[in-house]
Amino acid sequence: MSGIPNPLVEPADLAAELDRPDPPTLLDVRWRLAGPSGRADHAAGHLPGAVFVDLDADLCGPPGPAGRHPLPDPVRLQAALRAAGVRAGHPVVVYDGGDGLAAARAWWTLRWAGHRPVRVLSGGWSAWLAAGLPTSTDQPTPTPGDVAVRPGALPVLDAAQAAGLAAGSGPRPGESGGGDPERAGVLLDVRAAARYRGETEPIDPVAGHVPGAVNLPLTDLVGADGRYPDAADLRRRFAGAGVTDARPVGAYCGSGVTAAQAVLALHLAGRPDAALYVGSWSNWVADPARPVATGDGT
């Protein structure tokens, strides 16, 4: 973890920061996979000064062949972040209801967009309430920010790169040619085991997994309360799935939200080079020519 900024902040520490001059910008990204938007939750109560940002509408592109939560258009993302008061170089803290999913994807999106000082509130809204910290129903009117979105600050995988990483011999993130067989990669499928095996698929039209991907359900990495084990424990858990310091690693899920939390866990474990297959399974199965594996084997 040396030299890697801590992407998490505890409620009590954040509360102390909010009492200082020029506190962090707070983004409330509460979200539900099947809706409705978290905007009503925000209106009912939020961290003082927090601005609501919609994960689906503001931080992702429209659903389609690229996936259910594809990369956002940089121009639209920049406009949304500036409207929320995000300033160049100024700290941002994102939070969700408590499971950490939406907050991790928001953290990843801002980091991918080139904004480095961003953290996730550990335990989210639930932890803030449990700590007895102040809340508000006032709707803030932030001064427009000046953040500049510069895409590509975190590595991403497209379908071909994900397949190559899973096969251990294809292009790594940022490469167009063949990979180095001495550095065979690991592609983590962090969905539930039954979805990986192809026994059930509640959302997408095809069940199964990317051939060669290794199943490591997110529930083996992160608690339901959005809390993470310590770095050494995370490294042991990732090592059990074949992740070592020498092997390139990427992650996918159904649509790139859950996998963003796995990428955050990899950062905590000392792997800031971990790549996100943003389109994930919803992009993979959009092309019927792509192969699908089932069962426990990769």
Kindly list the catalytic residues.
253
SS3 102: helix
Helix and strand tally (H, E) in the chain? 11, 10
Helix axes 258-268, 101-112, angle to 10 degrees: 70
Angle, alpha carbons 29-31-36 (nearest 5°)? 130
Question: In 3D, which of 293, 66, 65 has the Cα closest to residue 195?
Answer: 293
Helix axes 231-240, 258-268, angle to 10 degrees: 120
Radius of gyration of the chain (CA): 19
- The residues, ordered by sequence, that sit 6+ positions from 262 with a Cβ below 8 Å of its Cβ are 188, 190, 216, 218, 221, 251, 253, 274
What is the spatial distance between Cα 234 and Cα 138, in angstroms, rounded to a whole number?
39
Per the CB < 8 A criterion, the answer to whether 132 and 159 are in contact is no
